[in-house]
């Protein structure tokens, strides 16, 4: 076990730097340390000016996503021991504008998320006295996987379409749209289909599939998008064959 490990970390301070550049730090190597622990060691002991987001350190708040050796990772779950002998390259998430050091701007995602209407929409809202909407475990199971998204943005950083086509709604937002489409309590799948049936929506996706590969919560956004496409295609076919019979 080596005594130390090097981290090559992207620095970008808009007041003084023209563009991002790497800075190298040497930190103690500990078997149970993750990349985030190393970054905190740097911040606490070596360089208080290094900026990054983090919070829960248990892989559920979605704050600490970064590129580690070129791959999008939650740094709280990326063990240093998997990157021996180093150096470990730590960069801000791909395809997002860099605000400062390892911090990227995700306001665009917040806009896209709102656009897909990720909330329950139905014609008849039951009064609370009627109790819960019934939903069997099987019905829950159809959308459960897509409800696990923690908005960590790793899938955006893995998707070249996000980089090439800035208006592309992107994997997580479409997966969340599909999460509500598949929820037996929701009735707005048609509405969301209209919003997403264009090249900024589902048809922007060329099925690279990396979003699913990097998802730390096994959400499978690629699957969500392809399933969405299949529904859209069948809908289009139906309205072509029986134009009077569709919604």
Interacting positions 105-134 with another protein (CB under 8 A): 105-106, 110, 113-114, 117-120, 125-126, 128, 131-134
Pick left, alpha or beta for residue 212 (phi over 0 → left; psi -120 to 50 → alpha; otherwise beta): alpha
Give the Cα-Cα-Cα angle 85, 80, 209 (nearest 5 degrees): 105
In whole angstroms, how close is the CB of 242 to another protein at the nearest point? 23
Nearer to another protein, 17 or 198 (CB): 17
Residues of span 23-52 touching another protein by CB under 8 A? 32, 43-45, 47-49, 51-52
In whole angstroms, how close is the CB of 151 to another protein at the nearest point? 5
Of 7-15, 82-90, 195-203, 239-247, the window that binds another protein (rule: CB under 8 A) is: 7-15
Of 153, 159, 149, 140, the closest CA to residue 209 belongs to 159
Contacting residue, 8, 139, 191, 232, with another protein by CB under 8 A = 139
In whole angstroms, how close is the CB of 85 to another protein at the nearest point? 21
Of 1-9, 157-165, 195-203, 236-244, the window that binds another protein (rule: CB under 8 A) is: 157-165
**26-30-34-40 Cα dihedral, nearest 10 degrees:** -50
Peptide bond into 85 cis (omega under 30): yes
Contacting residue, 22, 82, 84, 135, with another protein by CB under 8 A = 135
18 binds another protein (CB under 8 A): yes
In whole angstroms, how close is the CB of 247 to another protein at the nearest point? 22
Site string for another protein, 175-204 (x = CB under 8 A): -x---x--x-xx------------------
Residues of span 58-87 touching another protein by CB under 8 A? 58-63, 70, 77
Nearer to another protein, 140 or 245 (CB): 140
In whole angstroms, how close is the CB of 66 to another protein at the nearest point? 14
Nearer to another protein, 88 or 205 (CB): 205
Q: Is the separation of the CB atoms in 226 and 207 below 8 Å?
A: yes
């Amino acid at each position: 076990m080596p005594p130390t490990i090097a981290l090559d970390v992207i620095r970008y301070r808009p007041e003084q730097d023209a563009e991002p550049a790497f800075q190298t730090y040497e930190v103690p190597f500990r078997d149970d340390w993750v990349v985030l622990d190393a970054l905190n060691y740097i911040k606490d002991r070596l360089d208080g000016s290094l900026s990054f987001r983090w919070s829960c350190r248990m892989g559920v708040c979605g704050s600490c996503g970064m590129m580690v050796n070129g791959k999008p990772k939650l740094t709280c779950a990326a063990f240093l021991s998997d990157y021996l002998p180093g150096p470990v390259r730590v960069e801000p998430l791909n395809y997002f504008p860099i605000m400062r050091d390892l911090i990227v701007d995700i306001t665009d995602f917040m806009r896209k998320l709102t656009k897909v209407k990720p909330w329950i929409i139905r014609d008849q809202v039951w009064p609370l006295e009627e109790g819960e909407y019934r939903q069997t475990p099987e019905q829950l199971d159809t959308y459960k996987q897509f409800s696990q998204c923690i908005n960590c943005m790793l899938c955006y950083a893995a998707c070249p379409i996000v980089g090439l086509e800035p208006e592309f709604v992107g994997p997580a937002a479409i997966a969340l749209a599909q999460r509500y489409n598949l929820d037996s309590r929701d009735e707005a799948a048609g509405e969301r289909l209209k919003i997403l049936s264009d090249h900024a929506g589902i048809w922007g996706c060329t099925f690279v599939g990396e979003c699913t590969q990097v998802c730390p919560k096994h959400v499978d956004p690629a699957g969500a998008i392809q399933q969405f496409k299949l529904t859209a295609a069948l809908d289009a076919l139906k309205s072509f064959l029986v134009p009077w019979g569709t919604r």
